[in-house]
Each structure stands twice: as structure tokens, then as C-alpha cells.
Amino acid sequence: MTLDLDTARRLIAGTRSAAHERGLKPLTVVVLDAGGHVVAAEREDGSSAKRFEIAHGKAYGAVSMGLGSRALMDRAEQQPYFIAAVTSAVGGSLVPVPGGVLVRDGDGTLLGAVGVTGDTSDNDEAAAVAGIGAAGLTAQPAA
């Protein structure tokens, strides 16, 4: 595990706090380690039934490809068949819209990713970036 539970909890708390300050809709936040495995997750009251899967897919796509999910959206716009093929190949789902943000430490080492869903994709990403910054770590939302 490259991202410990205390850090994951701080990432979730920071993301949620940033979302509340901005008045966003109820969010679901999932934190994965660099291997793509769940470390922690929280779904706020009012966030719909399958939001865990969507937040997971944003973060999982980011870790799987080593790119923030905004870069995956750009790729999906150009080559939708590529994203469909990778979804099949990776043995899990990736959701190629903004809100899956890579987390790096001060040396640039990849620690994992935060996936957020519930508001617009742009707002989801902004909350994740703010939460990662509040934890003293570096956010990589795109390529």
C-alpha cells in the first residue's frame, strides 16, 4: 500500500470540505493506492446508488493509465474505441471524465488517486484538487 489509511482519510475530508465550501451537490469520494486498490471511500447522503462505482472508475482509470481522468476524456473524444478497449483490457471499469486525480508526493512519486463524482465533472475535479492540496500533496488532474 503506497498510500496509508490516515492519508486517505485526510484526502477524503479535504475533498468533502472543499466541496461544502463551494456548495456542491452531495459527493462520493474514493481513494485508491498506486496499485488501484481501494483504501477508503465515503458516499454522502443524497449521492445516488451507483456513485461509488463511478468515483472508483474515475480513479481507477487514472491509476491504470498514469494520467488524470481529464486526459482520458480527451483521448475518448478522439478515439472512443481506445477507451472501450482499455476498459475491457484492464479487467475493471474506467470512467473517462474529469474527477479522477492522481496524487503524488513532493518527489513526484505516485501515491494513488482520488475519484470524485456527484456534481459537474469540472466541480468534482476542483474538489479533488483542493483536497489533495489541503493534505500537502500534489494533484495531477490531467496528462
Q: Least separation, in Å, of the C-beta of 114 and a second copy? A: 14
Site string for a second copy, 65-84 (x = CB under 8 A): xxx-----x--xx-xxxxxx
Single out the residue of 36, 22, 29 nearest to residue 8, CA to CA.
29
Single out the residue of 14, 57, 100, 141 in contact with a second copy (rule: CB under 8 A). Answer: 57
For cell 491504470, the residue is 64
115 binds a second copy (CB under 8 A): no
Question: In angstroms, rounded to a whole number, what is the distance separating the alpha carbons of residues 109 and 95?
Answer: 23
Burial class (CB in 10 A: 0-12, 13-18, 19+), 30: buried
Question: In angstroms, rounded to a whole number, what is the distance separating the alpha carbons of residues 4 and 57?
Answer: 20
Q: Least separation, in Å, of the C-beta of 110 and a second copy? A: 8
Single out the residue of 18, 59, 70, 96 in contact with a second copy (rule: CB under 8 A). Answer: 96
Q: Least separation, in Å, of the C-beta of 66 and a second copy? A: 3
Terminal-residue alpha carbon distance, the chain? 24
34 binds a second copy (CB under 8 A): yes
Q: What is the DSSP string of 27-41?
A: -EEEEEETTS-EEEE
Single out the residue of 10, 11, 18, 56 in contact with a second copy (rule: CB under 8 A). Answer: 56
120 binds a second copy (CB under 8 A): no
Q: Name the residues that contact a second copy, by CB under 8 A.
A: 1-2, 4-5, 8-9, 33-54, 56-57, 63-67, 73, 76-77, 79-97, 110
